[in-house]
Chains A and B, each alone.
Chain A
Amino acid sequence: MESKKEFTKGIWAENPVFVMILSICPSMATTSNLSNAFCMGLAVIFVLIFSNIIISLIRKAIPGEIRIPCYIVVIASFVTITDLAMHAYLPLKIYEALGIFIPLIVVNCIILGRAEAFASKNNVWKSFLDGLGMGIGFTLALCIIGFTREIIGNGTICNYQIVSFFTSKNNNPNAWIEPISVFSQPAGGFLVIGLYLGLFSYLRRQKKLKEVAKAK
């Protein structure tokens, strides 16, 4: 029961992007397109799980003063593995779109944060569940942002045109609305994430108000 909680907390109650507001850089730079966002999420899940497992295994051997460099070395090795594997197996277009943000997973706050706050204090099984949960929460958040930005900015999902009226009038004279291309550019990314954070803080507030009303 307790270990189930370690898994689910990362997905909703402590979602790394929407609740803890960590690692905002990749969650905006890679979300102009749903497929890029999903691949970035997968890379982070992989690195997070394995770095959590290894750090949890060697947590008693690491001296306290130099723990951060040790964590960074562990994380950097898994990031290099991910980078090479993605270069080999992903379509080149997605790999190039992710660009420097794959090596930048090293300085991703979520991974170092989980290593410091969780994996260095808990056993392997719990750290694995924590990494998996946090990674899935991060991927979900990325996919939500990527989905919104792609469908408003381009009228597509994973580069497939799905809604025929939601396209440029040049290609389709029956189109109702033009896609707002600024949403797939940086400015739109900030706007989308700001509004989502507002929405989630509104939901949390409503929940709290309900609990207060119930208690009365």
Chain B
Amino acid sequence: MDISTAISLAIFVALINNFVLARFLGLCPFLGVSKKMDSAFGMGMAVIFVMTLASAVTWLIYYYLLRKGNIFGAQDLAPVLKTASYILVIAALVQLVEMFLKKNVPTLYQSLGIYLPLITTNCAVLGVALLNTTDAPMATRITQDNIFYAMIQGCAGGVGFTIVLLLMSGIRERLETADIPECLKGVPIAFICTSLMAFAFMGFLGLS
């Protein structure tokens, strides 16, 4: 692993190719939880945590069980089993994390607790697992051969999600009192603000 590659990967995933604004992943929780700053922060932390863990676990599954040359010596299982195995592992992982936190770290559980079950169906989590191990052109291929790069992509993706979620919750708290046309209130104006944020984030393209 190479530190400068790792840092540039993290910046690429968190800012330039942001999960919410450039890749359209995790929009449902982004709209659902961005009404208040506190809940946005809790959700963001839970997503960072689960995305990092899920990247590591799904990478191990891909590398040792699914891809060509896996430990069974079988042929490439990835196209057939990837989707089903990833989503089941993520669902089980979220459940385990929830049980572990409830028993051992009750304070953290109380602040993250209600957001954890929601994360199973957050497409950013399954999305990062698939992006880590795919040949698709939009992916960064270095994550396929190194678990640390995969985890950095997961963690930076979560950080990018949290940044955008916090910014959006600040904007939406202001929008509550703003004078908006009746038919644009609520979700439509949130989308238009997101669009303006996406314009702003396009400025990060200069970094790459």
Question: Residues of A with Cβ closer than 8 Å to B?
Answer: 21-26, 28-29, 68-69, 72-73, 76-77, 79-80, 83-84, 87, 96, 99-100, 103-104, 106-109, 112, 182, 185-191, 193-195, 197-199, 201-202, 205
Contact = CB atoms under 8 A, between A and B. Distances in A.
A113 B136 CA distance: 28
Contacts of B28: 22-25, 109
A100 B182 contact: no
Interface of B: 21-28, 31, 79-84, 87-88, 91, 120-123, 126-127, 130-131, 134, 136-139, 181-184, 186-192, 194-196, 198-199, 202
A187 B203 CA distance: 12
B24 A29 contact: yes
**Most B CB atoms within 10 A — which of A73, A107, A109, A202?**
A107
14 contacts: A24-B24, A24-B27, A25-B25, A26-B24, A80-B81, A87-B79, A100-B127, A100-B136, A106-B83, A107-B120, A186-B22, A186-B23, A186-B24, A197-B188
Given A187-B199, A194-B195, A99 B127 contact: no
Nearest to B136: A99
Nearest to B126: A107
A73 B82 CA distance: 12
Contact of B121 (A87, A107, A182, A193): A107
B27 A28 contact: yes
Nearest to B180: A198
A104 B19 CA distance: 14
Contacts of B191: 190-191, 193-194, 197
A190 B198 contact: yes
B123 A107 contact: yes
Contact of B187 (A21, A73, A79): A21
A196 B88 CA distance: 35
A106 B122 CA distance: 11
Given A25-B28, A186-B24, A109 B84 contact: no
B181 to A, nearest CB: 8
Contacts of B138: 99-100
A202 to B, nearest CB: 4
Contacts of B82: 80, 103
Contacts of A189: 24, 195
A186 B138 CA distance: 14
Interface-central residue, B21, B131, B134, B195, by most chain A CB under 10 Å: B195
A190 B136 contact: no
